[in-house]
Amino acid sequence: MTLQQLRFLVACAASRDISLAALRMDVSTGTLVRGIKALEEELAVDLIYLRARPVSLTMQGERLVQRAEHILAITTQGIDDLRRSENRLVGSLRIALSLSYGHRLVYESLTDFASRAPEVRLELRDIPFATHLQHLQRGELDIALLFPSWNAPGVSFETLVDERVTAVLPKKHRLARRTEVRLRELADEKWLVFYKPDSGRVGIDFYEACKRSGFEPKISQEIPSPLVRLAHVELNDGITLLPSSYDPGVRRTLKRVLVHRDDLSLPVCIMWKEHDNRQIVQAFIESVRQTVNRIYVNQDETLATDFVHFFLPHNLNEPGYKNSGRSGSVMAV
């Protein structure tokens, strides 16, 4: 006896018509009849008068329908409860971000997870990058997203993708028309950097890349804020680097040129407290992996050389967009 056979019998009892019952069960009439016949043979009783119009059930058939309805109701409820217990995520996640960087993966990871787990409250904290590790170790954060990580006690990390890096140049720069540049071609430039050599991994990666390319960079200023660095590039105070997915806003006077992948890339990582196997945390990590796969694997990552790709609608005439007369818009999360 199978649940499907019981469903066939209940459908016949409800509709009193074989064809209509088969239609409701989305099977052929022959499949439904064979299912009921097999049930009768197994139980060694007649359950239904198939040739009657309308179809009628035997006494044994009526009794079995009553029990079948109860069995099917309990089974359906059990399956629903199991699905809710497995898939329903509730609670909150404390996530460290640096929203001032405008990283595409930040916004899309958050919106993707929110659509999958609408009952989870995301507490977004824009805190200094250098303090993320300590907050995770003390249990004051659940997730730190999209930064180079430290291999430190009490913290787990995963590199999501090695992202390409772009050189940000004034629009009239001699290399601004290029689609790709080798790092050694920028050896004589003045650099606006995030970190100086002894400040952290981001700086070390850059300086080691320059060393491999045969030069020592000329540092103009150390400026953590990418927005301020871009302003200085516009003032011709130097050039800077940004990962290809960073888009701090509309800067039509600047150009980005890809640095050759063999010269420099940036590991984009996610960090969480070690041994934190809570379902909500692991679900967020898996959701971010899927977002990364969608953006970087299933699609070609398009470089927005004028800094307008992620902060303006793709179609300015789309419903809901109102031109305020300003040069750009801010995406709030």
- Report yes or no: 165 and 241 within 8 Å, Cβ to Cβ: yes
DSSP-assigned beta bridge partners for residue 121: 92
- Report yes or no: 95 and 124 within 8 Å, Cβ to Cβ: yes
* pLDDT per position as a tens digit, 218-228: 999 998 888 89
Using pLDDT thresholds of 50, 70 and 90, give the confidence band for residue 95. Answer: very high
Q: Which two tokens stand for residue 136?
A: 């995770």
**DSSP conformational letter for 239:** B
Q: Across all residues in the chain, what is the average pLDDT?
A: 79
Question: Average pLDDT, stretch 229-253?
Answer: 83
- Report yes or no: 189 and 238 within 8 Å, Cβ to Cβ: yes
The domains located in the chain, with CATH, are 3-87 (1.10.10.10), 91-297 (3.40.190.290)
Per-residue pLDDT at 98 exceeds 70: no
Using pLDDT thresholds of 50, 70 and 90, give the confidence band for residue 320. Answer: very low
Q: What is the pLDDT of residue 324?
A: 34
Q: What is the pLDDT of residue 93?
A: 93
To the nearest 10 degrees (0 to 180), the angle between helices 29-43 and 3-15 is 110
Question: Average pLDDT, stretch 17-46?
Answer: 86
- Report yes or no: 191 and 216 within 8 Å, Cβ to Cβ: no
Between 266 and 261, whose confidence is greater? 261
For residue 54, say if its preceding peptide bond is cis, omega within 30 degrees of 0.
Answer: yes
Q: Which two tokens stand for residue 287?
A: 């959701």
Say what the pTM is. 0.57
First to last CA, the chain: 53
**DSSP conformational letter for 263:** T
Q: What is the pLDDT of residue 256?
A: 92
Of 75, 5, 3, nearest in space to 40 by CA = 5
Between 19 and 259, whose confidence is greater? 259
Question: Average pLDDT, stretch 239-257?
Answer: 80
Question: Average pLDDT, stretch 257-286?
Answer: 90
Between 296 and 68, whose confidence is greater? 68
- Report yes or no: 256 and 168 within 8 Å, Cβ to Cβ: yes
Say which residues have a Cβ less than 8 Å from residue 321's Cβ, sequence separation at least 6: 313, 315
Q: What is the pLDDT of residue 162?
A: 81
pLDDT over 90 percentage in the chain: 27
Q: How far apart are CA 180 and CA 324, in angstroms?
A: 35
Phi, psi values for residue 243, rounded to 5°: -60, 150
Q: Please, where are the H alpha helices in 213-332?
A: 226-234, 279-292
Per-residue pLDDT at 190 exceeds 50: yes
Q: What is the pLDDT of residue 205?
A: 81
Using pLDDT thresholds of 50, 70 and 90, give the confidence band for residue 316. Answer: very low
Q: What is the pLDDT of residue 267?
A: 80
Q: What is the pLDDT of residue 150?
A: 66
Q: What are the distances in angstroms from CA 244 to CA 83, 129, 197, 256?
A: 40, 19, 22, 8
- Report yes or no: 261 and 164 within 8 Å, Cβ to Cβ: yes
Q: How far apart are CA 112 and CA 45, in angstroms?
A: 54
Q: How far apart are CA 243 and CA 304, in angstroms?
A: 12
Using pLDDT thresholds of 50, 70 and 90, give the confidence band for residue 79. Answer: low
pLDDT over 70 percentage in the chain: 78
